[in-house]
Amino acid sequence: MRLDRFLGQRKTLGRRAVRRLLATGRVTVDGAVMRDGRHDVGPFTPVALDGEPLATRRPAYWMLHKPAGCVSATRDPRHRTVLDALDPADAEGLHLAGRLDFNSTGLMLLTNDGRWSRRLSDPRHKLPKVYWVRTEDPITPEYAAVFERGLYFAYEGRMTRPAGLEILAQREARVTLYEGLYHQIKRLFGHFDNRVVALHRERIGPIRLDPSLAPGQYRALGADEIRLPGPAEPDLQEPRRP
Ligand code: URA
């Protein structure tokens, strides 16, 4: 949001009072005096008035090895949620960057940084989400062309985006998605009447599930993992169709 709006909200001040604070050099952003009220500040930007910090939230980024049998939600009246796996002090204010089904396992990302999680999940960034899948029946080579071409999902009223399929064994495959529709992988295999019996997310974009994490364990992301490819503040447009 704009710096002048942020100051007005935080200090309950009118526009004139905010303008005066800015004009007299009492406001700093990232340690430097900022007089321009149009300056954009994020939820974690260090803003100070007369040297006193106004923005106190710190960004948090975690990876969890989601175990089977818990819900991808921040609360649920009946089941354990992925947040229950975290220490309550670490879990405060977090939301999920993407979901996994109740019995799916693997990489789950949790954060309090909405911009970051939107970038991760926005299909226009084309960040691959990679899953290992086991099915009830054999997987045949014809699946790959169908996954690539896309299937019409009636509930969403559109075609799925191209997905990758690498057959690893008779009943095992690696699937790459660039979006996250409800039960997407199960529905893709469902097209062939082939039931998914195990599903494990290995990677989202550049972030791989740490193999040292057992199901239910979690750790903070490192700086290299938090840095996502592509522009920091994207203004992506879907390409116009002729
Ligand atoms: N697709 C599914 O069907 N389930 C998941 O948990 C993730 C992707």
Domains and CATH numbers, the chain: 3-53 (3.10.290.10), 61-226 (3.30.2350.10)
Residue from 72, 96, 100, 176 whose mutation best tests the ligand 1 pocket (most atoms within 8 A of CB): 100
pLDDT at 56: 63
DSSP E strand stretches across 54-161: 61-66, 95-96, 105-111, 129-135, 152-153, 158-159
Judged against a pLDDT cut of 60, whether residue 240 lies above it is answered with no
Residue from 104, 176, 201, 203 whose mutation best tests the ligand 1 pocket (most atoms within 8 A of CB): 104
The pLDDT of 132-149, averaged and rounded, is 98
Question: Which of 215 and 235 is assigned the larger pLDDT?
Answer: 215
Structure pTM?
A: 0.81
- pLDDT band for position 181 (cuts 50, 70, 90): very high
Q: Which range among 30-34, 72-76, 183-187 has the greatest average pLDDT?
A: 183-187
Judged against a pLDDT cut of 90, whether residue 176 lies above it is answered with yes
- pLDDT band for position 55 (cuts 50, 70, 90): low
Q: Using the atom order of ligand 1, give the atom closest to the CA of residue 177.
A: 8
Question: Which of 234 and 62 is assigned the larger pLDDT?
Answer: 62
- Are the C-beta atoms of residues 44 and 71 closer than 8 Å to each other? no
The pLDDT of 71-95, averaged and rounded, is 93
Mean pLDDT lowest for which of 112-116, 136-140, 189-193? 112-116
Check residue 85 and report its DSSP letter.
Answer: G
Give the separation between CA 1 and CA 18, rounded to whole angstroms: 15
How far is the centre of ligand 1, averaged over its atoms, from the C-alpha of 199 (Å)? 7
Encode pLDDT of 57-80 as tens digits. 789 999 999 999 999 999 999 999
Give the separation between CA 203 and CA 206, rounded to whole angstroms: 7
- Are the C-beta atoms of residues 83 and 74 closer than 8 Å to each other? yes
Judged against a pLDDT cut of 70, whether residue 233 lies above it is answered with no
- pLDDT band for position 231 (cuts 50, 70, 90): low
Judged against a pLDDT cut of 60, whether residue 81 lies above it is answered with yes
Task: Write down the catalytic residue from 101, 122, 210, 235.
Answer: 101
Tokens for 177, please give them. Answer: 């998605």
Residue nearest to atom 7 of ligand 1 (CA): 100
Judged against a pLDDT cut of 90, whether residue 232 lies above it is answered with no
Pocket of ligand 1 (CB under 6 A): 100-101, 104, 183-186, 199
The β-bridge partners of 129 are 177, 204
How far is the centre of ligand 1, averaged over its atoms, from the C-alpha of 110 (Å)? 17
Give the separation between CA 74 and CA 171, rounded to whole angstroms: 33
How far is the centre of ligand 1, averaged over its atoms, from the C-alpha of 172 (Å)? 15
Looking at every residue in the chain, the average pLDDT score rounds to: 91
- Are the C-beta atoms of residues 73 and 222 closer than 8 Å to each other? no
DSSP E strand stretches across the chain: 27-29, 32-33, 47-49, 52-53, 61-66, 95-96, 105-111, 129-135, 152-153, 158-159, 164-169, 172-177, 196-204, 207-208, 218-220
Is 113 part of the annotated catalytic residue set? Answer: no
pLDDT at 20: 95
